[in-house]
Amino acid sequence: MESDNTPIKKTNYIFITGGVLSSLGKGITSSSLGLLLKQRGYSVTIMKLDPYINVDPGTMNPFQHGEVYVTDDGAETDLDLGHYERFIDQSLTKRNNTTTGQIYFSVIQKERRGHYLGKTVQVIPHITDEIKAQIKTFDGQFDFVLIEIGGTVGDIESLPFLEASRQILLKERHNALSIHLTYVPYIKSSGELKTKPTQHSVKMLMEFGIMPDILVCRTENKISKDERSKIALFCNVDEESVIEGIDVDHTIYEVPLQYAKSHFDEIVLNKLNMPLNTLELKTWEKFVHKIKFPKNSVTIGLVGKYTKYRDSYKSILEAFIHAGSINDTEVKVEMVDAENITKDNAHEFLSELDGILVGPGFGSRGIEGKINAIKYVRENGIPFFGICLGMQCAVIEFSRNIMGLTDAHSSEFDKESANCVIDLMEEQKKIKNKGGTMRLGAYPCTVLEGTKAFKAYGQKDISERHRHRYELNNEYRDRLVENGMTLSGLSPDGKLVEIIELKDHPWFVGVQFHPELKSRAVYGTPLFINFVKAVLQFHNNKEKY
């Protein structure tokens, strides 16, 4: 954030909408444009406007919505914020994600306070004014605010967001732009790219009073000059503003390089009368090169219960890509459904893997399978990384199989157990509401010197993001330590255990927090980098025999 005496900037607003289909990669497009502008020396932030009525995605099932991304300031947000942070290497805040639920919540609260006394409260102007106020929250602080509007143009839910952006686009003609992302399908039988869906989508946007300045056309094949002219003519944009968004083969991190080749950022800057400045992409290019041409390859099993929907573990998968590139290693992630793992068949699922990660989660399904998997990797010296619920399962496994507390459990799953080694945090006991009430956001942690965690971080004072209600039960701390577990990270007041590890094992680390949420492209995050390093070593040792 800027200091008080920084001159107020002229902020440019760039709205990004999507048409034809969902899942076209609006998030990656917004992130890539953000990166390109940043690499030209501009300050940038990115917002997501989500049309659903939930106040935030925190109460949604991961199968519905994918991962819930948590910011430093403890907001539970859309997973696109993860892409934004990873690409532009900037921590975002709760102000970067707004939902219809939040907008209405705030308007209704104001109405109750008497803010609109005498008036009929309506979608236009009251809801749209509230949306505009949210969009303007960063005014004067950044050169560019990119606003991604969730959903597809034409959805009933997103209409107020489109209307608010129309008003800003009209009023601030010189510092606001509309970018529309569409799909240009390739029809095999005729060997042609089809532009009609794009024409229809733009037509629909125009019905709402928004004329796109730039079209980004997602396509599998190159768009020819003729096709580009046709799109330009029918969609009322100039030819150079038809940007080809061709599928990339290897990695989403290649997208900004593709867009740079299409002069996407230059066109944006020209339209907003902003100087081009030089574009610095060397570090990014090197990062992408390392992903595309790795020297080694390992396979890590991700044991969890949301394995059928990879977006549920989005940040973990991305953190592996970052950590892999730093270790010159391709990390293949194999999803292992925890529910299938028993004591007897764990070998079948896990013996070929170079490492396993037991992921975060809620609810009891798959818990025993996770515990079985952890027993197997602990006994067989396979590198292990437990995140949040994964760490809690490691403590349960250790308590049951090393300390002989056969009924050890978490009170989340078995309140009757006499040995709840994982228990509800004190402050959680009085909470009744479900939304936004977990221990959320960044908290400091003190790392014990001489541990694997310390080796990874290289320092004592760290800060990581959290999202949980349960925690290692302090009554069992001494016994866990006596039996060989190291409590390698504690909250600064010593009250909460944040990291556990085992000594006589190549790499066995569990964390109560979510390090994956702070993993950035190019830089990665310490524990993932060291885990992949240990996994690679384990893999190479196997090869020798």
Active site residues: 388, 514, 516
Distances (CA, A) of 284 to 87, 260, 263, 398: 10, 12, 17, 42
208 is a site residue for ligand GLN (CB under 6 A): no
Q: Is 470 in the site for ligand GLN (CB under 6 A)?
A: yes
Measured distance CA(530)–CA(513) in Å, rounded: 16
- Minimal distance in Å, beta carbon 320 to ligand GLN? 18
Q: Is 314 in the site for ligand GLN (CB under 6 A)?
A: no
Q: Which of 105, 116, 362, 523 binds ligand GLN (CB under 6 A)?
A: 362
> Residue 334 Cβ, how far from ligand GLN at the closest point, in Å?
20
Decide: residue 521, CB within 10 A, 0-12 exposed, 13-18 middle, 19+ buried: buried
Task: State whether the Cα torsion 340-342-348-349 is positive or negative.
Answer: positive
Q: For residues 317 and 78, give the distance between their C-alpha atoms in angstroms, rounded to a whole number.
A: 16
By C-beta, is 150 or 301 nearer to ligand GLN?
A: 301
What is the spatial distance between Cα 289 and Cα 297, in angstroms, rounded to a whole number?
A: 15
Name the amino acid, one letter, at 279.
L
Q: Is 354 in the site for ligand GLN (CB under 6 A)?
A: no
Q: Which residues fall within 8 angstroms of residue 451, CB to CB, at 6 or more apart?
A: 486, 488, 499, 501
Closest approach, Cβ 304 to ligand GLN, in A, equals 10
Are 433 and 56 spatial neighbours (Cβ–Cβ below 8 Å)? no
Q: Which stretch binds ligand GLN (CB under 6 A): 79-87, 254-262, 368-376, 462-470?
A: 462-470
Q: Residue 468 or 539: which CB sits closer to ligand GLN? A: 468
C-alpha 174, offset from chain centre: 32
Distance in Å, CB of 467 to ligand GLN, minimum: 5
Could you say whether residue 166 binds ligand GLN (CB under 6 A)? Answer: no
Size of the site for ligand GLN (CB under 6 A): 10
383 binds ligand GLN (CB under 6 A): no
The nearer residue to ligand GLN, 362 or 523, going by C-beta atoms, is: 362
Q: Does 371 bind ligand GLN (CB under 6 A)?
A: no
> What does each C-alpha distance from 358 to 81, 258, 336, 513 come to in angstroms?
23, 35, 10, 13
Task: Considering the complex, state which of residue 36 and residue 408 has its C-beta at the smaller distance from ligand GLN.
Answer: 408
Query: What phi, psi does 298 have (nearest 5°)?
Result: -130, 160
Bridge-based pairing of strands 296-304 and 242-246 is unpaired
Distant-in-sequence, close-in-space partners of 62: CB < 8 Å, separation ≥ 6: 68, 306, 309, 311, 312
The footprint of ligand GLN on residues 407-426 (CB under 6 A) is 412
Of the residues 164, 176, 336, 388, which one makes contact with ligand GLN according to CB under 6 A? 388
Strand partners, 465: 442
Q: Kindly tell me which of 51 and 58 has the beta carbon lying closer to ligand GLN.
A: 58
Instruction: Return the H-helix or E-strand segment holding 81.
Output: helix 80-88
Residue from 110, 469, 479, 520 touching ligand GLN (CB under 6 A): that is: 469
- Contacting residue, 19, 27, 361, 369, with ligand GLN by CB under 6 A: 361
In angstroms, what is the minimal distance from the CB of 338 to ligand GLN? Answer: 13
Compute the 3-state secondary structure of the chain and give helix, strand, coil in percent, each to the nearest 5: 40, 20, 35
Of 37 and 68, which has the nearer Cβ to ligand GLN? 68
Give the dihedral of Cα atoms 373, 378, 384, 389; nearest 10 deg. Answer: 60
Q: How far is the CB of 496 from ligand GLN (least distance, A)?
A: 12
Task: Pick the piece of the chain touching ligand GLN (CB under 6 A) from 263-271, 313-321, 360-368, 401-409.
Answer: 360-368
Q: Please identify, using beta-carbon distances, which residue of 103 and 389 lies nearer to ligand GLN.
A: 389
Instruction: Show contacts with ligand GLN in window 389-408 (CB under 6 A).
Output: 389
Q: What is the Cα–Cα distance from 28 to 12, expressed in whole angstroms? A: 20
Interacting stretch for ligand GLN, rule CB under 6 A, among 214-222, 468-476, 518-526, 537-545? 468-476
Least gap, CB of 447 to ligand GLN (angstroms): 20
Q: Which residues bind ligand GLN (CB under 6 A)?
A: 360-362, 388-389, 412, 467-470
